[in-house]
Amino acid sequence: MYDTLKPELLTASAQEKRYMEQDPTYVVTWDIFRNNQFPYMEVRRPFILGTRNHQWKATIANRFAELLHTKTGKLRRIYTQNIDGLQRQCQDIPDETIVNVHGTISKAGCEHCGHDMDFDEFCNQVQTKIKDIYGVDEKAPSESTPIFCEECGKAMVKPKTVLFGRSLPSEFFECCERDLPDLDLLIVAGTSLVVYPANSLVYKVPDTTLRVVVNNEPVGMELGIDYNGKGPGCRDFYAQGQCDAVFLNLIQELGWLEDLKQKRDELPPASIQLLDSANSG
């Protein structure tokens, strides 16, 4: 998104456009949104509507978490830095189990008063009030008009993602305080472990907590993850590879493959292909 940002297409002042030209991340900052709702909303428009339409689907890695809950009851929490909301497609995962560290695009609310807005109604207003800078929706309006909060009347309604310059959800810190002290197993999947405070989970868990890293390359060495440890005292385990492939293998080893097959039609094409290859093998 940052690489392809074209500030000249956005509804913004000349100064705001200059800021975005110098630093594309400015489009998702509190500094600009509190004065002008439109740049953020115009950039996010296809992702908001695509999320409502399930244009992107939960993967095998997401479904592993769902199976972990339904088959064992031992899934305490999912801390995700992704804003895509894919975990919420896994309807067997309780909503309170998911902590969106950086917020989620699958819910909407007011940045001014915190009032939640029905997501479908929000998407309807995005569709009819926010212009399409990507040129894919012929029915989109030619100019953007505000989406007002039904509670406070401010034009500050947006997906519940965390803007740069805003605090993380208090839920993250509250759940960490409750979850970590007696955690048995921490699975770290598909992350570079460079973004604080989400990466702090790996060193805030007790010394007795087993840590499993699922990733293409080793990460988190500076945080204390040991990829050279061996023997009975070793607490860190490395499962190298793509997340979907690693979790599919684990699902097979646990005897849950038939359960996953029941979700086949709800998976994205790449996950379906991987699952089918496992079946044929």
CATH of 60-102+168-280, one of 1.10.1040.10, 3.40.50.970, 3.40.50.1220, 3.40.50.300: 3.40.50.1220
Give pLDDT, residue 65: 97
CB distance 10 to 17 below 8 Å:
yes
Q: Quote the CA–CA distance of 244 and 226 in Å, as a whole number.
A: 23
CB distance 271 to 59 below 8 Å:
yes
Q: Residues in the chain with pLDDT < 50?
A: none
Give pLDDT, residue 127: 98
Q: CA triplet 226, 228, 234: central angle to 5 degrees?
A: 65
Domains 7-54+103-161 and 60-102+168-280 share a fold: no
Spatial neighbors of 254 by CB under 8 A, at least 6 apart, are 67, 71
Q: Quote the CA–CA distance of 281 and 278 in Å, as a whole number.
A: 5
CB distance 201 to 174 below 8 Å:
no
Predicted TM-score (pTM) of the model is 0.91
CATH of 7-54+103-161, one of 3.30.1600, 3.30.70, 2.60.120, 1.10.287: 3.30.1600
